[in-house]
Every structure is written in structure tokens, then in C-alpha cells.
Amino acid sequence: MKTPTKAELVSKIEKLEAKVEQDQREYESLRLRYVQKREQLENAAIQDSDNADKYQTVHPDNAHWMSSSDAYITIQTTGYDHDYDRMPKCRVCTIPVPDLTGGMRWKTELPKSYRLEERDEQGRYVYKVSPHWEMVKEDEYGQHWHHPEMETDMQVLGEQDFLIENHEQYSRRRNKEHLEKMNHMIWLAGQIQEFYNGVGHFPDEEVEVQVQFAMRGEVG
């Protein structure tokens, strides 16, 4: 078998290198087309309610949570760019919190929970404010009342503390609670971020956790 000359070897190597580069370009083009078609398929499938569980989409009855909540924690993937605003951000999921202070109640008078023996015209028991309430103190936060645990002929009343506020006092407490819950949301997002940092990222992407607040009035 004839040994190829140096020139023939160089020519063969150049042709093979060119072929490899061409195949790599074709492979990358094919891969990109596959990714694009896959995204189109998933985007179409997400809109089908039968695929809600597969893609973890929000139930239609809870769709308003995603547009009218007080706060959101969003987990997203990002690319790499020295300009943060130009980095692509692709959402993985969003956790909405409809009302940061939804558990608060404004009380302006003591509750009528003391049952009497008499009944009204519909035969229902009549209730009034218990005579055993005692005001512990009154300060800038409002009136602090306490009711001891006790038993009457009609019922058992548990121990209870109660705060009566005017509108200014309640607004001040609500704003304080709102700020505390906002800080809690920021802390929680940080914990989620640390968790992802600890277990590793998605392939070729960074995971970022953000918090967004819908300001519905002055807070603080």
C-alpha cells in the first residue's frame, strides 16, 4: 500500500476538519430547531386544561391570585450577561400571597358572647357583653381587656385577651404588621435561593428567586 505524501495527508486532514465543522453546524441547527419546536409544543399544551397537572399551572378558580395579590415570590432561570437588565429571565413558578394582613381584625367594642337565659322572638339565645371583662390598661395601642376563664349556668367562657382600637391605632398596627410580613417574604425568598444554591442549578442556567410587592397604599 502506497504511503500518502505529506501534502496528501494535509489535504485529507483539512477535508475531514471541514466535514466535522459542517456536521457540527448542522447538528447545532437541528438541535435549535428541536428546542424551538419543543417549546412551541409545551406552550400549546399548557393552554389545554387536561395538562394542568403535568405543567403545574394554576387552577382557573385561583387565577386571580396571580394578578391581584399583595406579594409574589418568583423562581426563574437566568442567563449570563454583565448587564443584569438584559439577562433573559424565564419563570419556573410564582408563589402568590393574596393578603399580607388578611388575618388582622379591627375591633371597636367588646364581643357579645355572654349567653342569657332569655330567647328572642325566633327562639334563639340572647347574648350580651360579659360583665366579667376587665380593662388591664390603655395606651397608645388601644384598650387592653382581659376575660378570665369561667363557667356560668349557661356556658363555659374561656380566658381571652382583647384589644379595642380606634382607626388610627388600627392603621398603625396594620402598617407595622404589613412591614413585618414583607420582611418575612424577603427572608423566605432568601431561604429558597440558598436551597437552590445548595442543591445545584439547572443545566447551563442560574436559578434566581425574586420578591415583588403590590403597593396598595402607604406602608410604614
> Which grid coordinates belong to 71?
406579594
Helix (H, G, I), strand (E, B) or coil at 215: coil
Report yes or no: 95 and 72 within 8 Å, Cβ to Cβ: yes
d(CA 12, CA 32): 30
Q: Residue with C-alpha cell 419543543?
A: 38
Alpha helices, H only, the chain: 6-46, 52-55, 167-199
| Long-range Cβ pairs for the range 201-205 (8 Å, 24+) | 202/77, 205/77, 205/78, 205/79
Domain boundaries, the chain: 12-101+186-213, 112-164
Model confidence over 84-136: pLDDT tens digits?
Answer: 666 777 888 899 999 998 888 999 999 999 999 888 888 899 999 999 999 99
Q: Which residue has the higher pLDDT, 111 or 34?
A: 111
State residue 65 phi and psi, 5-degree precision. Answer: -60, -35
Residue 54: all three cell numbers together: 403535568
Q: What would the pLDDT profile of 134-179 be if each residue is shown by its tens digit?
A: 999 999 999 999 999 999 988 999 999 999 999 999 999 999 999 9
Parallel, antiparallel or unpaired: strands 142-147 and 160-164? antiparallel
Instruction: State the pTM of this model.
Output: 0.62
At residue 60 the predicted structure's pLDDT band, cuts being 50, 70 and 90, is confident
CA distances from 217 to 70, 73, 165 (A): 11, 20, 20
